Chains A and B, each alone.
Chain A
Amino acid sequence: MNINATGLDFVDLNEALRQSRGNCNITHCLGQRFLAAGISDKTVTVSGVPGNALGAYLNGAKIEVMGNAQDAVGDTMNDGTIVIHGNVGDAVGYAMRGGHIYVQGNAGYRAGIHMKAYKEKQPALIIGGKAGSFLGEYQAGGTIIVLGLADNDKPIVGNFPSTGMHGGKMYLRSDCKDIRFPSQVHTHPASKEELDEIDHYLRHYCSYFDKDLKELLDSPFTVVMPDSRNPYRQMYVAN
């Protein structure tokens, strides 16, 4: 089913989407917020520019955006997949607790802020380009992958990555020589086993955006993890 979003506000557009049966194709989107929020059972394709909080609380549906998306994509999503054929704004994957987000291009500030995981709920955020500052701020769980495929001279991630990180894992496709990490995280070159852990994410990325897996892997990856030996050392008096 097709929905032309022209002239519809976000309430009307979301209502039309909920009433639709089966797969849905939204065209001429222009800033309508909360698109596909909380839905569990559809495949939604969006052309135009979806508004903030696209796929918030998403509960199993699949969203594919044929261009850029704005801020807070997948805010608190629980399950499902979001694929963005472009860049995203700030705070993509904000507090997501399940599901997968694939971004072809760059992400803004605070990507993956406060992602979390529990048992079978293992969210993943895959950013093809570069990420802004505060990547994975307060990350508590899940996997963040940044591939750095972008034509600019910026570093793969901006300032203050993984500030307050206390769980989960971050993979940066770079040797990260010029990146300053906070003292509470460890970084090391990714091992073969660690790369195997994210193999299926990389394969999906390549198939969504028509990239070559071999080329992706022909570059060092750095793994960032919280130093879990004594995470509260900085907070309490050592005695």
Chain B
Amino acid sequence: MLKREGEIRIPSGCAIAAVISKEGKGIRGDLISEAMKPMHDRSNGLGGGFAGYGIYPEMRDFFAFHIFFDHRSTRKECEALLKERFEIVKGELIPTRKIPQITDEPIIWRYFVAPLKSMLAAEQIDENEFVARTVVKINTQLKGAYVFSSGKNMGCFKAVGFPEDVGEFYRLEEYEGYSWTAHGRYPTNTPGWWGGAHPFSLLDYSVVHNGEISSYDANRRYIEMFGYKCTLQTDTEVITYIIDYLLRRQKLTLEEVASVIAAPFWSTINAKPEKEKEKLTYLRTVFSNLLITGPFSIVFGWDGGLMALNDRLKLRSMITAEKDDKVFIASEEAAIIAMEPEAENFYAPSGGEPVIVRVKEGKF
């Protein structure tokens, strides 16, 4: 029998792409699907996925849980657990389209939920931490259920298949969001499980990742000290938790997060002006266990923005471009042209140089 995600380690190749409107204008989900077509050969059909931000405006006050279930009975069990902790405002099947390219789909539901005030008071934590703990609890303890999206006014859509087919399967053209990220996966030795596709997300944070980090176990051991559980043995999961830890719990800025996970070499730090040198030295020293080594290019999404980042040696490709209010990011220039033939200001960020794009305040 094939081993499942988490029982075997899978090195990946992959393609990534993203688009964001700085004015917060709606972008249809099929646009990002177009980006994945010219990069078809970077994936091998064993995983594709998307994250859309601003897609549930009428439900923006509720956490949107997207969950895979193996069986109907698992769903009942999971719903019972959710009801103990949340008010479920709405629960429904995620609309999909039957296409021959996508098979063996699990049962895919979404729930719009609000944490019960009594539970928050009892556990003495804020609602984000409460939701994060619930997600970890379901994903580690409830066999056959997997929460793959848990943010507000955003959602991940992922499956085993080529990304452009996954986009069609999830009817992405029916969603509009101010930003989208996409991923095509090329695991070389995979069981191919739906939960193992990208993006990985926790709360409104999502990560798509092309690469193969070599510091996985060092990073995992460190991050698990803070209550995270890496269940899938994939790089991307640990990157998601690292960013969550540094941003949400340590309150670092995005630029500082980039300087931790893609820390410059000591020789580069030493050549910096005194003040910057001091800061970089501090970050590299305090969070040395969260330095990510080995090749990666990632796009990190959150409520209101995107950040693109390469490993410090830039062992994976990444290019950005602009057109009017939109910023584009992709593994290949061709992918950007597929989204916007008139794209301009192409720029290849250096290793460790974050490209951070925020939607204007009040526009999302």
Contact = CB atoms under 8 A, between A and B. Distances in A.
Determine if chain A interacts with chain B: yes
Interface stretch (B87-95, B153-161, B217-225, B333-341): B333-341
A68 interface: yes
Interface string B291-323: 000000000000000000000011001010000
A79 to B, nearest CB: 27
Interface stretch (B102-110, B178-186, B345-353): B345-353
A10 interface: yes
Contacts of B337: 30, 48-49
Interface in A141-174: 158-159
Nearest to B316: A90
Contact of B348 (A48, A89, A180): A89
Interface string A97-108: 000000000101
A108 B41 CA distance: 22
B118 interface: no
Nearest to A48: B337
Contacts of B313: 109, 133-134
Interface in A18-40: 30-33
B38 A30 contact: yes
B1 interface: no
A70 B317 contact: yes
A106 B346 CA distance: 11
B271 interface: yes
B268 A10 contact: no
Interface in A71-127: 71, 87, 89-90, 106, 108-109
Given A89-B317, A133-B350, A49 B333 contact: yes
20 contacts: A30-B38, A30-B337, A30-B338, A32-B38, A48-B337, A49-B332, A49-B337, A70-B333, A70-B334, A71-B332, A89-B317, A89-B319, A89-B333, A89-B348, A90-B348, A108-B317, A109-B351, A132-B350, A133-B314, A180-B271
Given A31-B332, A31-B334, A87-B348, 4 more contacts: A31-B38, A70-B317, A106-B348, A133-B314
